[in-house]
Amino acid sequence: MPMTMSQKILAAHAGLDSVEAGQLILCGLDRIHGNDITSPVAIREFKKMGAERVANPENVTLIMDHFVPNKDIKAAQQCKCCRDFAEEQDLPSFYDVGRMGIEHALIPEEGLVVTGDVAIGADSHTCTYGALGAFSTGVGSTDMAFGMATGKAWFKVPSAIKFVLTGKLPKYVSGKDLILHIIGMIGVDGARYKSMEFTGPGAHSLSMPDRLTVCNMAIEAGAKNGIFEVDEVTLAYEREHAKREIRVFKADPDAVYDEVYEIDLSKLRPTVAFPHLPENTRTVDEAGDVKIDQVVIGSCTNGLFKDMKEAADIIRGRKVAKNVRAIIIPATQDIYLKCMEAGYIKDFIEAGCVVSTPTCGPCLGGYMGILAEGERCVSTTNRNFVGRMGHVESEVYLASPATAAASAIAGKIASPEEVLK
């Protein structure tokens, strides 16, 4: 039976020769992870099940990243719950203050998920690791608890949509623009419970940070997961980061897809998702005169070193517009250090930005950048729902690091070309 990339990975982890869309299967897991918001719920459910020991401690990762350093007593209690559980279960992959980073940037960087893995995480953007050629998807905290107790998870095998990418991205256009373009094209439910599989010469031209960004936001199209065909870019990344042997799975030539889309990367423009859905996309040329109050550059979607460089190259030697608050968040300690060594932190601060320790804080309206009534923010995060970053009458506009940096300088939504001319 012909299978897609995702179906082949799932079949292998279920011990089956083949699977088909809609089939319910029980798979062994290579990685189970949670954060300081979702893990305490999973820990409580784990104990309710009567479980005493995690099945595979080396496969479980807890990352304190949402409200860390702690913003209040409740956040501190959440982290203490995780800290105590990690010590009790002797979990080697526990990341706390000073060692932590934003989970979906830190996990690939640490080589905790690799090509051919099946990974679940109690966070919807766990689909990020499909960039490595893994099957990874977000689950609820109860599923995380079951995974910790048994080392397994139930899946309904997804059907797939194939995206054949051609051409190369123009200057100032990145993976964020590509995924916003796709979500604008198919809608926030256009890939509901499907695998978004990326292939073609254009896919092979994308950097790993761009692929991670694309897969990170597959969930914003309703997808079960996103996944890139494994190539030399993938293998080079794995040689640098992987601590385990990898397994490469390729789709069969006659695999069945629900839809096939062809996208010429060279025709894309910087793209912005207007409130209040990621599908409400316009190019910067269509944005009009949208004044802004805040810019956030970071998050699990766009907090990598490449993202910081793209922002710094535009901000360097310029000043953030009056009345605009610009918040920069490198996604891991290692990325923060590399930004310091490259001089980007100095560029940001001299321009009037504030630079934060790694945290998810502003993305979900937690802290480090809450919006007041009527305020507008251009953000490199992944969601712009009503009240996502603060007041229900605030507005979030999703964009790439280059577009966000240009907007911080202009004081309104702007293209990099407009600011640099």
SS (H, E, C) the chain: CCCCHHHHHHHHHHCCCCCCCCCEEEEECCEEEEECCCHHHHHHHHHHCCCCCCCCHHHEEEECCCCCCCCCHHHHHHHHHHHHHHHHHCCCEEECCCCCECHHHHHHHCCCCCCCCEEEECCHHHHHHHHHCCEEEECCHHHHHHHHHHCEEEEECCEEEEEEEECCCCCCCCHHHHHHHHHHHHCCCCCCCEEEEEECHHHHHCCHHHHHHHHHCHHHHCCCEEEECCCHHHHHHHHHHCCCCCCCCCCCCCCCCCEEEEEEHHHCCCEEECCCCCCCEEEHHHCCCCECCEEEECHHHHCCHHHHHHHHHHHCCCCCCCCCEEEECCCEHHHHHHHHHHCHHHHHHHHCCEECCCCCCCCCCCCCCCECCCCEEEECCCCCCCCCCECCCCEEEECCHHHHHHHHHHCECCCHHHHHC
Per-residue confidence (pLDDT) for residue 6, from 0 to 100 = 98
Question: Where does the pLDDT of residue 421 fall: very low under 50, low under 70, confident under 90, or very high at 90 and above?
Answer: confident
User: Residue 182 pLDDT more than 90?
Assistant: yes
- Average pLDDT of span 397-404: 98
Fold agreement between 5-264 and 273-420: yes
Per-residue confidence (pLDDT) for residue 224, from 0 to 100 = 97
Q: What is the pLDDT of residues 209-246, one digit of tens each?
A: 999 999 999 999 999 999 999 999 999 999 999 888 99
User: Residue 41 pLDDT more than 90?
Assistant: yes
At position 324, the amino acid (one-letter code) is V
- Average pLDDT of span 377-404: 96
Cα–Cα distance measured from residue 94 to residue 300, given in angstroms and rounded to the nearest whole number: 18
Q: Per CATH, the architecture of 5-264 is what? A: 2-Layer Sandwich (3.30)
User: Residue 46 pLDDT more than 90?
Assistant: yes
Q: At what angle do helices 208-216 and 175-186 cross, to 10 degrees?
A: 30
Cα–Cα distance measured from residue 65 to residue 363, given in angstroms and rounded to the nearest whole number: 12
At position 400, the amino acid (one-letter code) is S
**Any idea which fold 273-420 has?**
Aconitase; domain 3 (3.30.499)
Q: What is the pLDDT of residues 248-282, one digit of tens each?
A: 999 999 999 999 999 999 999 999 999 999 999 99
Domain ranges of the chain: 5-264, 273-420
Per-residue confidence (pLDDT) for residue 1, from 0 to 100 = 85
Q: What is the pLDDT of residues 62-115, one digit of tens each?
A: 999 999 999 999 999 999 999 999 999 999 999 999 998 999 999 999 999 999
Q: At what angle do helices 305-315 and 208-216 cross, to 10 degrees?
A: 100
Question: Where does the pLDDT of residue 330 fall: very low under 50, low under 70, confident under 90, or very high at 90 and above?
Answer: very high
Question: Where does the pLDDT of residue 419 fall: very low under 50, low under 70, confident under 90, or very high at 90 and above?
Answer: confident
Cα–Cα distance measured from residue 350 to residue 274, given in angstroms and rounded to the nearest whole number: 30
Tokens 């954060």 belong to 35
Beta bridge partners of 127: none
